[in-house]
Chain A
Amino acid sequence: MFERARKGLRQQLGTQMMSVATVALALFCMAGALLVLENAGAMVRRWGAPVKVTVFLAEGATVDQVDSLRRALAALPEVEEARYVSAAEARQSLSAGGDRTVATAPVELFPATIELRLVPSAVSAERVASVALRVRRIPMVSEVETYRGFTERLRGLLVGGRAAAGVIALGVLLCVFAVVSNTVRMSLAARLREIEVLRLVGATRSYIRGPFLIEGAMLGGAGRSWR
């Protein structure tokens, strides 16, 4: 049986190699499509959730009050980092593009803030809204910006992108299935006469199948060692 498998491989080497290469290429395409889908999912998780919250401080808050508030906010499990941004730093940051009007504006126009960077993918929009509501009740806080509108639009965009990637991946998957199926059929069609003759002269099913199974195992083994 091994001898017949070896002979079959030798006689149909070109067809066999072409089949293996086609199947490998098809599987490579499928892996690429699945990778795109997986990355689209990761992007939704990473960028579709709130990542930043700005706490605007009321005028007259003392340094000690601000520092204790910053430490309290930094201790929240959803918060990765809480950074105090003074009015002067806010003006400097906004005028970094060279806008002289902003750079010369009175510093009182720029409220001091505490910028919260949230733990990626650990915070839901609802949880952030709940935290913002509670922080807003603190007397030294004038406003809390959660960028919810922007986050929701970005999330919508990413979910749409993921759905498109899913449709493309499904299409690629169907193509891969068709290619693999046709390749196997073509490879088998080249051997149909051989199978027909074997059946005609009284070969049993196991006698016919055996070498094909061994050939498949040999090709699979060769492909694995090549990888």
Chain B
Amino acid sequence: MGRSRVSNNFRPHFRPDGHFDSAAAHKPILVLENVMKVFRADAPVLRGVDLTIERGEFVFVTGPSGAGKSTLLKLIYKAETVDEGRILFCGRDIARLTEDSVPHLRRNIGVVFQDFRLVPYWTVFENVAVALQVMGLPPRVIRSRVAVALERVGLDGRGDEKVSVLSGGEQQRVTIARAIVTEPAVVLADEPTGNLDPVLALDILGLFEEINEGGTTVIFATHDRTLLEVSPRRLVVIDDGRCIEARAGLAGLGGVLDHGISIN
């Protein structure tokens, strides 16, 4: 299966007026400073998370169920707001973005979910193209870029099929195509292999690694220990609302992960 390379220009243009912010290209893609998130006063989900992610990194975020992995990702694409601390995306504090700027932030972030979040009565093409249509690109450009994205995820020529007839693995590939079709600065994956069998899970992980090789920053949240073992990447463990770092994957953590992480 031939995969065409897509240039991955970093274009942090999350201002409503679409102006290019050249200074942002020289800053870390993501900086979290003392981030706190509380849903229940007696049990804060995140209690002072500090994390810096450089451009082009592949970072695993792991931790037991309910540790706050999904919350952390939601804070990044502003589905939730921080209670304390700052999240700097390309040097800009996303908490200070206006309502009008949030859609522009999200156009710079691709998100992949465990439950796919596809529109079942749309075709594969429509589910991927929507990410470009909201940006107002011409149909000719959309057709060409969707075709490239579908080819990258191994679904070339399947654009006319309804997503509801696809297998779980294929639906996840459509979601990944939708996340990368805009050539975003960062791709967030929230347990993307949670609904897939171990072989498909490794396949999907490989896809994310290919995306990362193209220059896109990937933040991959999972509690699947197998994936962490086969891919020795930078690992961030969220435990008790705080981050523990391991630059060399599981090996750098010792016995920290002996509880709460499943083995597939």
Contact = CB atoms under 8 A, between A and B. Distances in A.
Contacts of B107: 201-202
A193 B119 contact: yes
A11 interface: yes
A12 B131 CA distance: 21
Given A201-B107, A201-B178, A202-B103, A207 B117 contact: no
B4 to A, nearest CB: 22
B120 A193 contact: yes
Given A201-B178, A202-B107, A203-B103, A194 B119 contact: yes
A190 to B, nearest CB: 9
Contacts of A72: none
Contacts of B106: 199-202
Contact of B104 (A200, A202, A205): A202
A94 interface: no
A202 B121 contact: no
B130 interface: yes
B119 A207 contact: no
Interface string A170-198: 00000000000000000000000110111
A202 B117 contact: no
B118 interface: yes
A136 B81 CA distance: 86
Interface in B240-262: none
Contacts of A198: 130, 134
Nearest to A12: B121
B120 A197 contact: no
A75 B99 CA distance: 76
Contacts of A12: 121
A204 B117 contact: no
Interface string B86-127: 000000000000011001111100010000011111100001
Contacts of A197: 117-119, 127, 130
B135 interface: yes
Contacts of A11: 121-122
Contact of B111 (A193, A200, A205): A200
Q: Specify which of B118, B134, B135 lies most central, judged by the most chain A CB atoms within 10 Å of its CB.
A: B134
Nearest to B179: A201
Contact of B135 (A193, A196, A199, A202): A202
A126 to B, nearest CB: 65
A199 B117 CA distance: 12
Given A201-B130, A203-B134, A196 B117 contact: yes
A75 B130 CA distance: 81
Interface in B144-186: 178, 182
Interface of B: 77, 99-100, 103-107, 111, 117-122, 127, 130-131, 134-135, 178, 182
Q: Which 5 A-B pairs have the closest CB atoms?
A: A202-B107, A202-B106, A203-B134, A201-B131, A202-B103
20 contacts: A11-B121, A12-B121, A193-B120, A197-B117, A197-B130, A199-B103, A199-B106, A200-B106, A201-B107, A201-B131, A201-B134, A202-B103, A202-B104, A202-B131, A202-B134, A202-B135, A203-B134, A204-B100, A204-B103, A204-B134
